[in-house]
Amino acid sequence: MKLVFLGTSAAQPTARRALSCTCLERNGEIFVFDAGEAAQVSYMKAGLGWNKKMRIFITHMHGDHCVGLFGLLQTMSMRKRTEPLEIFGPAGIDEFVAANTRMLNFGLSFPVMISVVSEGRIYEDGEVVIDACRANHKVTAFSYRIIEKDRPGRFDVKKAGALDIPKVLWSRLQNGEEVVVNGKKTSPGEVLGERRPGKKIGISGDTAPTESLKEFFAGCDILVFDATFLDSEESKAQETLHSTARQAAMLAKKAGVKSLVLTHFSSRYKDESGHLREAREVFDSVTAARDLLEMEIR
């Protein structure tokens, strides 16, 4: 599983940073969080593949977070994508996609489903769940978290052999069932290693820090958080309902996350050194995202 940052600038792009887009690649599937203008250009550069299973999660209906949808949809159609694609977002996402698909006169080579998000569980399959939580921004906005389901421990073939358990019964032990061989019970715990816990990744989108987000992101392995401003612009952060790097770090610390990634930097800053310095004053494990940064999650 890896995070790939496709756009890390706030509001206005810079020569080095495109507008918001963060991808999580997991088992050949892409979870895209926001699609700012020109997301397709970074997506192409990252070489993530045009016909992959994909779900797109829009945090809020501001242009710098969703205008890139059309370039992605159009280019995937021109490249003859066949895989269905699902787009999640706040109310308005449905009209936005439908109206522009009509007004821009383009056909789609693949099915697109739109799901309007409200708080709570918005997606679940056999391996992950995705939840939404209201963020605090100028328009309706959601933060998302993706949680891998725990996997059972590794099956110990040697132990199973020593216990004379026939192969045909192994899958039952792997699935957590007890088996009986020649009148002797074996419990799954005797042949399985420790349960492998899933990872938990948080994506804030644009938001001021809130108590409910602290709860929502509690225990995340990686939290990607709005760090638009420095301390010196804290009043600007408050006014525009964004966060400072320090506020992101304080929330990460209180939420007990393992690692924090700052993103969504205002174009007024030449680099992110100030953000890193201020965040590290309150929390140790901080990284600054940059366009095309890839981060393996193990």
Site for a copy of itself contains 95 (CB under 8 A): yes
Q: Which amino acid is at 80?
A: K
Site for a copy of itself contains 114 (CB under 8 A): no
Site for a copy of itself contains 292 (CB under 8 A): no
- Give me the DSSP letters along 91-141: TTHHHHHHHHHHHTT---SS-EEEEE--SEEEEE-SSEEEEEEE--SSS-B
Cβ at position 118, least distance to a copy of itself in Å: 19
With contact defined as beta carbons under 8 Å apart, do 62 and 206 qualify? yes
With contact defined as beta carbons under 8 Å apart, do 19 and 37 qualify? yes
Q: Mask 61-80, x = binds a copy of itself (CB under 8 A)?
A: xxxx-xxx-xx--xx--x--
Region binding a copy of itself by CB under 8 A among candidate stretches 32-40, 119-127, 159-167, 215-223: 32-40
Cβ at position 241, least distance to a copy of itself in Å: 13
Listing from the earlier edge strand, what are the strands of the sheet with 128-134? 120-124, 128-134, 142-148, 200-203, 222-226, 259-263, 286-288
Residue 169 DSSP class: G
Q: Which DSSP helix (H) or strand (E) runs through 25?
A: strand 21-26
Q: Alpha-carbon torsion 176, 181, 183, 184, what sign?
A: negative
Catalytic residue among 64, 131, 221, 291: 64
Cβ at position 165, least distance to a copy of itself in Å: 56
Closer to a copy of itself at the Cβ: 94 or 156?
94
- SS3 call for 76: helix
d(C-alpha 220, C-alpha 280), whole Å: 18
142 forms bridges with which residues in the sheet?
134
Site for a copy of itself contains 104 (CB under 8 A): yes
Residue 69 DSSP class: H
Considering only 108, 113, 139, 157, the residue that binds a copy of itself (CB under 8 A) is: 139
- SS3 call for 83: coil
Site for a copy of itself contains 92 (CB under 8 A): yes
Considering only 29, 41, 169, 198, the residue that binds a copy of itself (CB under 8 A) is: 41
Closer to a copy of itself at the Cβ: 31 or 96?
96
Region binding a copy of itself by CB under 8 A among candidate stretches 35-43, 116-124, 223-231, 281-289: 35-43
Cβ at position 221, least distance to a copy of itself in Å: 32
Closer to a copy of itself at the Cβ: 71 or 198?
71
With contact defined as beta carbons under 8 Å apart, do 28 and 58 qualify? no
Alpha helices by DSSP H, listed for 132-216, are 157-162, 170-174, 188-191, 211-216
Closer to a copy of itself at the Cβ: 97 or 248?
97
Determine whether 164 is an active site residue: no
Site for a copy of itself contains 38 (CB under 8 A): yes
Considering only 2, 45, 151, 258, the residue that binds a copy of itself (CB under 8 A) is: 45
Region binding a copy of itself by CB under 8 A among candidate stretches 95-103, 108-116, 144-152, 165-173: 95-103
Just list the catalytic residues.
64
Binding site for a copy of itself (CB under 8 A): 11-15, 18-19, 37-38, 40-41, 44-45, 61-64, 66-68, 70-71, 74-75, 78, 92, 95-96, 99-100, 103-106, 138-139
